[in-house]
Amino acid sequence: MEFFTLRVFRYDPTKDTEPYHQDYKLPVEKGMTVLAALFKAKEELDPTISFRYNCRAAICGSCAMRINGHATLACKEQITHLLEKYETDTITVDPIGNVKPLKDLIYDMDWLVDKLKKVKPWFIPKAPPPPDGKEYRQSPEDHAKIDYASDCILCASCMSDCNALKANEDFLGPMVHSKAYRFAADTRDGAKKERLDAVLEDLNLEWCVRCWECTTRCPKEVQPYENIIRLRIMADQEGYKTPGAIHAEIFEEDIKERGLLNEMLLPLKQEGLFGMIKRAPFGIRMFFKGKVNIADFFGGHKIKRLEEVQTIYEKAKEKEKEVTIKIPQILGVVYEDKRKSKLLKEQRENAQKEGGNQ
């Protein structure tokens, strides 16, 4: 293929009522990135194209955009690879999702900054500076807990493809939660409670729908979804009664008492009478579709051989204090192979064996 089409999102609020796409025909050049292609189109074909960039080395995050529908860094993606991957002769570039376009590929970033401010994404030391005047020290084992989260470059690629954020603009989003985790889990930081309060306000942490899009789209393997899970675990360890923790307790009690979950009484147990009334329309629809067992309103039936389930439960409770469950630092192990070096991988594995997230 000698030429390809670069299809660029165009919007100038001073003259356009609606956004549109404009095509530019460019030669396929070995090693050309999407950012380089945008520069070529701007310098040789149309000087009015507007976009953000800075380092050109996948460090600053400025050139994040949607390329053929998926958020990533324009300076990181090569044209030849994309043409082969999508089996097409057209590369389409748009602003990242869940944002307000300002001009072409430039979008409003104020909403990101406002969300970040809520979790105070900066170091708040819990102790005075070391007497020797050197930096605050941290063991390799403790640093392993925040290593991946520390790599976030605030490009907002994860925010772009977040389905929960699309449904609820008040959701802080995976990037903000990752930053909250990075500092809340830092053993040198003294504002863990403040940050947990921020991410738990208005059930914010519960809005994540576990679609994994944020982790899939992150160009730096920061693992945003996993960081949300780590925040939930941390909140539980700190004694917060989150909806997720309450949900789990109800599950446990139902399984112990009857061997299966009573979904009809779940809203009443978790959210009280108001929650039950709020979910009544959904319950009525389920009833007419034959999904509701009326007996469940009165406690429901118990499974056969329930005593076996209860025996397993009692044995598990006996061993509960003897077992330390380690939450692996790398939940998404598929991303480990993409990291910096074999040596660093070994260092991380050793750190996890010694410490990691307990």
pLDDT tens-digit profile of 253-290?
Answer: 989 989 988 877 877 887 777 777 877 787 788 778 87
Do 158 and 265 belong together in one domain? no
* Pairwise CA distance, residues 154 & 175, whole Å: 7
Do 99 and 130 belong together in one domain? no
- Angle (deg, nearest 10), helices 174-184 and 224-237: 50
- For residue 170, the enclosing domain spans 110-240
Q: Which tokens is 58 given? A: 């996948």
Which pLDDT score, from 0 to 100, does residue 19 have?
96
Q: Look at residue 20 and tell me if it is in a domain.
A: yes
Do 193 and 89 belong together in one domain? no
45-101 pLDDT per residue, tens: 999 999 999 999 999 999 999 999 999 999 999 999 999 999 999 999 999 999 999
* Pairwise CA distance, residues 247 & 245, whole Å: 5
Do 119 and 140 belong together in one domain? yes
- Percentage of the chain surpassing pLDDT 90? 56
Do 226 and 287 belong together in one domain? no
In the chain, the number of structural domains is 3
Do 289 and 176 belong together in one domain? no
Do 117 and 236 belong together in one domain? yes
Judged on CB neighbours under 10 Å (0-12, 13-18, 19+), 217 is: buried
The residue with tokens 């709020």 is 278
Which pLDDT score, from 0 to 100, does residue 6 have?
98
Choosing from 107, 129, 163, the residue where a domain stops is 107
Mean pLDDT of the chain: 87
Do 9 and 83 belong together in one domain? yes
Do 205 and 96 belong together in one domain? no
| Residues 6 or more apart whose Cβ sits within 8 Å of residue 292 | 264, 283, 286
Entry pTM: 0.79
Do 100 and 130 belong together in one domain? no
Segment 234-243 shows an average pLDDT of 86
* Pairwise CA distance, residues 156 & 171, whole Å: 14
Judged on CB neighbours under 10 Å (0-12, 13-18, 19+), 36 is: middle
Q: Look at residue 338 and tell me if it is in a domain.
A: no
Choosing from 58, 73, 107, the residue where a domain stops is 107
- Domain containing 90 — which CATH number? 3.10.20.30
Q: Which tokens is 352 given? A: 């996890």
Do 81 and 132 belong together in one domain? no
Half-sphere exposure of 52 (CA within 13 A, CB side): 21
Contact 335, 128 (CB under 8 A): no
- Domain containing 120 — which CATH number? 1.10.1060.10
